[in-house]
């Protein structure tokens, strides 16, 4: 079972005490434990079971404006003694940085709200196996399916964050995740696709049969793809891809990229960077939210931010160090966003498909083609040609390219937002991008 609060707190306070004794003027520590159990199926048979029990500790010590840190998976006092001594020694030898400090005390979270992030239910391996049997049965209906690999993971985690300003808090979280990767084959091609569901509470997880069927359908419809010619065409991003564009936006407004000057969105606060109707929110207190939290990794309270209002950028994502450098207060975004999403647009998914006589619907991208310094974007893509609102045929071996500065100004969103991941977007259309194919 996952370690309790008392054990983690004891380790945390031991470390803070020892660091002080050895000469640290300030310090902070995170202790975490995560117990995870996975069962994998392949072609309707048990393929793998995996149990992991991970302990971790990371300590940062300060001497005035000097800072250094250590981390370890070995929580025995003997080992911690050696490491903390090493850390304080390294701190002494590291040059000063005027912006190094713990968070301002008045910004630290004062209360820990119960956001329903922990489900005590324990799913035995037999139950995981039952779920996967049902899933793979539903996924294997069609003769074109040649391989199915599915997985069920239960994860229970606990952590404590403590610092020498008196902050000491943490809480348990859980997740139940099911996924299925399908390979289908016909005379001309072999294709792969997947479906996935992850929830804090077991009872909220997608139905196994539905998930398997969805994964299989999505794979079969990709068979016998064509390559199209190069042209400028409206691109519709499936929700699972659209959320990636939102993640790139989040890295471009991180205070670290802004303070270093390495973002195409530097100095854009209060400027219009998206089309008029676009609103972006980061909401940390969604009940059972996959990205929900009470405070960030420094202990700073995390409030809801309306990052983009009617297309205008309102906030960066600020941590303590980069905030001090930019002369801004931390808004509790050390480690990034919580539940980040685009608000719904005004038209239905169907109307979005119908809005152009011809468009490209993208279901998968490959490659790391986002450059946040220049805003340039170029990735490999797979999807479907859409004509007059109908999916005509699958497409692959193409690339799509543009620059985020232009792309953001030409976004239209459907009204089909759902909270499937920590970062979510409705289906998204972007006009003016270039497809490279034949």
In this complex, which beta carbon is closest to another protein, that of residue 13 or of residue 58? 58
Q: How many residues belong to the site for another protein (CB under 8 A)?
A: 76
Smallest gap, in angstroms, from Cβ of residue 389 to another protein? 26
- In this chain, which of 137, 326, 328, 401 binds another protein, going by CB under 8 A? 401
Residue 10 as a binder of another protein (CB under 8 A): the answer is no
Q: Residue 380's beta-bridge partner residues?
A: 366, 399
Residue 389 as a binder of another protein (CB under 8 A): the answer is no
Question: 335 is written with which tokens?
Answer: 């480690």
Residue 326 as a binder of another protein (CB under 8 A): the answer is no
- In this chain, which of 137, 269, 417, 436 binds another protein, going by CB under 8 A? 436
Residue 303 as a binder of another protein (CB under 8 A): the answer is no
In this complex, which beta carbon is closest to another protein, that of residue 33 or of residue 279? 33
In this complex, which beta carbon is closest to another protein, that of residue 341 or of residue 421? 421
Question: 167 is written with which tokens?
Answer: 């902050």
- In this chain, which of 18, 19, 75, 211 binds another protein, going by CB under 8 A? 75
In this complex, which beta carbon is closest to another protein, that of residue 203 or of residue 368? 368
- In this chain, which of 160, 215, 305, 398 binds another protein, going by CB under 8 A? 398
226 CB neighbour count, 10 Å cutoff: 15
- In this chain, which of 25, 101, 147, 409 binds another protein, going by CB under 8 A? 147
Smallest gap, in angstroms, from Cβ of residue 43 to another protein? 9
User: Which positions from 167 through 206 interact with another protein, judged by CB under 8 A?
Assistant: 183, 189-192
Part in contact with another protein (CB under 8 A); list of ranges 68-76, 130-138, 154-162, 344-352: 68-76
In this complex, which beta carbon is closest to another protein, that of residue 162 or of residue 400? 400
Residue 378 as a binder of another protein (CB under 8 A): the answer is yes
């Amino acid at each position: 079972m996952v370690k309790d609060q008392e054990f983690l707190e004891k380790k945390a306070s031991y470390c803070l005490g020892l660091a002080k004794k050895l000469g640290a003027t300030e310090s902070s520590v995170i202790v975490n434990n995560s117990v995870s159990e996975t069962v994998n199926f392949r072609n309707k048979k048990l393929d793998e079971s995996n149990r992991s029990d991970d302990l971790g500790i990371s300590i940062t010590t300060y001497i005035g404006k000097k800072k250094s840190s250590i981390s370890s998976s070995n929580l025995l006092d003997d080992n911690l003694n050696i490491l903390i001594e090493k850390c304080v020694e390294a701190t002494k030898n590291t040059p000063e940085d005027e912006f190094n400090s713990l968070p301002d005390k008045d910004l630290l979270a004062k209360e820990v709200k119960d956001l329903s992030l922990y489900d005590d239910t324990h799913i035995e391996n037999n139950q995981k196996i039952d779920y996967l049997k049902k899933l793979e049965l539903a996924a294997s209906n069609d003769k074109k399916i040649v391989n199915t690999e599915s997985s069920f993971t239960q994860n229970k985690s606990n952590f404590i964050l403590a610092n020498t300003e008196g902050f000491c808090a943490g809480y348990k979280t859980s997740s139940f995740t099911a996924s299925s990767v399908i390979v289908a084959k016909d005379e001309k091609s072999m294709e792969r696709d997947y479906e996935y569901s992850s929830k804090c509470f077991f009872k909220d997880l997608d139905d196994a049969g539905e998930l398997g069927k969805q994964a299989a359908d999505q794979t079969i419809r990709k068979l016998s793809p064509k390559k199209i010619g190069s042209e400028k065409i409206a691109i519709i991003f499936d929700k699972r891809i659209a959320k990636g564009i939102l993640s790139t936006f989040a890295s471009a407004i991180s205070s670290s990229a802004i303070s270093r000057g390495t973002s195409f969105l530097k100095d854009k606060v209060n400027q219009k960077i998206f089309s008029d109707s676009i609103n972006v929110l980061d909401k940390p207190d969604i009940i059972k939210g996959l990205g929900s939290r009470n405070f960030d990794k420094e202990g700073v309270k995390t409030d809801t931010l309306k990052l983009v209002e009617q297309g205008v950028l309102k906030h960066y994502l600020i941590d303590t160090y980069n905030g001090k450098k930019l002369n801004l207060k931390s808004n509790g975004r050390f480690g990034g966003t919580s539940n980040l999403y685009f608000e719904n647009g005004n038209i239905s998914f169907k109307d979005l498909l119908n809005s152009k006589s011809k468009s490209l619907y993208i279901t998968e991208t490959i490659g790391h083609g986002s450059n946040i310094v220049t805003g340039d974007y170029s990735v490999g893509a797979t999807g479907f040609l859409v004509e007059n609102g109908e999916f005509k045929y699958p497409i692959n071996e193409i690339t799509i390219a543009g620059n985020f500065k232009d792309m953001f100004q030409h976004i239209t969103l459907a009204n089909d937002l759902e909270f499937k991941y920590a970062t979510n977007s409705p289906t998204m259309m972007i006009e003016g991008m270039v497809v490279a194919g034949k």
